[in-house]
Amino acid sequence: DADVTQTPRNRITKTGKRIMLECSQTKGHDRMYWYRQDPGLGLRLIYYSFDVKDINKGEISDGYSVSRQAQAKFSLSLESAIPNQTALYFCATSAGLAGGPSGDTQYFGPGTRLTVL
């Protein structure tokens, strides 16, 4: 969805480096999410935020941190990257309660492919 952008799209880094992945949205949604996708494991939720002051851990938050700088921006950091964090990372948004019956629909960015050597 072009309304949700992620930078960078691809990144190769070395073990121990600090990495930040950024997500921006123009959909005006309150809720934002970070997922990790590994082959055969589907999408796993890392962190989610229901509004600027609300940050929640997901299923696999260890080794990651997030910052919700504004309604439109949600960044994911790997403080000290390790090889098993090599994966495809997706940011997503949803309208939440403000979206009524469709509020749970998630809109995904194009993804960031991260390789940790």
Partner 1 sequence: GQQVMQIPQYQHVQEGEDFTTYCNSSTTLSNIQWYKQRPGGHPVFLIQLVKSGEVKKQKRLTFQFGEAKKNSSLHITATQTTDVGTYFCAGWASGTYKYIFGTGTRLKVLA
Q: By the criterion CB under 8 A, which residues form the site for partner 1?
A: 1, 33, 35, 40-45, 48, 56, 59, 90, 92, 101-102, 104-111
Q: Are 12 and 117 in contact (CB under 8 A)?
A: yes
Max CA distance (Å), the chain: 44
C-beta closer to partner 1: residue 79 or 104: 104
- Residue 41: how many CB atoms within 10 A of its CB? 10
CB of 79 to partner 1, least distance (A): 25
- In angstroms, what is the minimal distance from the CB of 80 to partner 1? 26
Smallest separation (angstroms) from partner 1 to the CB of 73: 19
Q: Is residue 54 packed enough to be buried (19+ CB in 10 Å), middle (13-18) or exposed (0-12)?
A: exposed
Question: 26 or 80, CB closer to partner 1?
Answer: 26
